[in-house]
Amino acid sequence: MSGGYMKFSNVQLQRLVELGLEEGLERDFDCGRQRDDSFRQLARGLEKNNKAALDRLQQGLRPDIKLLEEKLLHTLRAEGYAEVSTPILMSKGLLQKMGLTPEHPLWRQLFWVDKNKLLRPMLAPHLYHLLRHLQKLWDGSVMIFEVGPVFRKESKGQEHVEEFTMLNLVSLGCTNPDEQLRLMVDKLFGQFGKTYSLVCAPSEVYGETTDVVIRGLEVASAAVGPHALDANWEISGPWFGMGIGLERLAMAVGDYSNIRRVSRSLSYQNGARLNI
């Protein structure tokens, strides 16, 4: 048989993608019956996987993305980082200290709550603010992290959502920030069984960042200082910091191509579609 004249219908494709099929969508069939049989078989297998992911929640296990977060937090604590917690609402004044002005591309991505308040688009301004106080109180060396929601208006597809979870760590007063950053990257990302690489990238805020990339996907951005912005926050000394997108990491670890599966959602929980 020559075959190859029939493909999955659009409705079938949509359903398979919804159920989480990542590869093998481009198939050729000899006839409609063969195609529909193949669709039903594939869909059943995927439904089973989705149900299993929801069963794990029902059994009291935490969602996979929370397990990743726990691993990262455990590593950070073992390295001596202290956990901090800052407001989700941010004052407009802090944007300016971060070098963000209305001309800046990120400005168009801000969710304003009122004239002077917005939902934080990043954790760095609040962490910078804490560093100033803690540097005085903790004799110069400060290692802190925060994990929590951040918000950016986005129009891009599969790798961006408008609310996501940032884990931001910073180590101020270290001796060799470049080297220590690389060590920290290995400690944090070496535990997921995925190959990662470091890539230099231009940054709208820091000028340049070092990105952690897994299979072409940026999962984290890191920067080192002293940096020109430090003076605005009255801190001094060498530092390195890194912002990890937890949904991006969950995508990379779970081999997902759609970030919505692992984001805060009413359609998915624990990577599983709810209408199965």
Give least dist CB 83 to ligand ATP, A. 19
Q: How far apart are CA 158 and CA 135, in angstroms?
A: 40
Q: Which does 220 bind (CB under 5 to 8 A by kind): ligand ATP, Mg ion, none?
A: ligand ATP
Among 42, 143, 166, 172, binds ligand ATP (CB under 6 A): 166
Candidates 66-74, 140-148, 213-221, 266-274; binding stretch for ligand ATP (CB under 6 A): 213-221
C-beta closer to Mg ion: residue 16 or 123: 123
Give least dist CB 230 to ligand ATP, A. 18
Tell me how far CA of residue 141 lies from CA of 67, 135, 144, 227, in angstroms: 29, 6, 10, 17
Cis? peptide before 226, omega within 30° of 0: yes
Kindly state the tokens that stand for 251: 């995508």
Give least dist CB 154 to ligand ATP, A. 5
Residues 122-161 that bind ligand ATP (CB under 6 A): 152, 154, 160-161
Question: Torsion over CA of 150, 156, 158 and 162, rounded to 10 degrees?
Answer: 20
Tell me how far CA of residue 137 lies from CA of 71, 76, 142, 241, in angstroms: 29, 21, 9, 20
Helices (H), 104-245: 124-137, 177-189
Kindly state the tokens that stand for 273: 């579609």
Kindly state the tokens that stand for 214: 């897994």
Candidates 58-66, 143-151, 213-221, 247-255; binding stretch for Mg ion (CB under 5 A): 213-221
Q: Please compute, for residue 7, the number of CA atoms within 13 A of its CA located in the half-sphere on the CB side.
A: 8
Among 68, 172, 185, 219, binds ligand ATP (CB under 6 A): 219
The label of the residue with tokens 């590869």 reads 23
Q: How far apart are CA 168 and CA 174, in angstroms?
A: 17
Query: Which distant-in-sequence residues (6+ apart) come within 8 Å of 95 by Cβ?
Result: 101, 110, 118, 125
Kindly state the tokens that stand for 19: 């159920």
Confirm or reject binding of residue 221 to Mg ion (CB under 5 A).
yes
- x/- mask, ligand ATP, residues 227-266, rule CB under 6 A, reads ----------------x-x-xx----------x-------
C-beta closer to Mg ion: residue 224 or 272: 224
Q: Which does 261 bind (CB under 5 to 8 A by kind): ligand ATP, Mg ion, none?
A: none
Q: How many residues of this chain bind ligand ATP (CB under 6 A)?
A: 15
Give least dist CB 107 to ligand ATP, A. 13
Give least dist CB 245 to ligand ATP, A. 2
Kindly state the tokens that stand for 102: 């209305």
Give least dist CB 251 to ligand ATP, A. 9
Contact residues toward ligand ATP (CB under 6 A) are 152, 154, 160-161, 164, 166, 218-221, 243, 245, 247-248, 259
Contact residues toward Mg ion (CB under 5 A) are 221
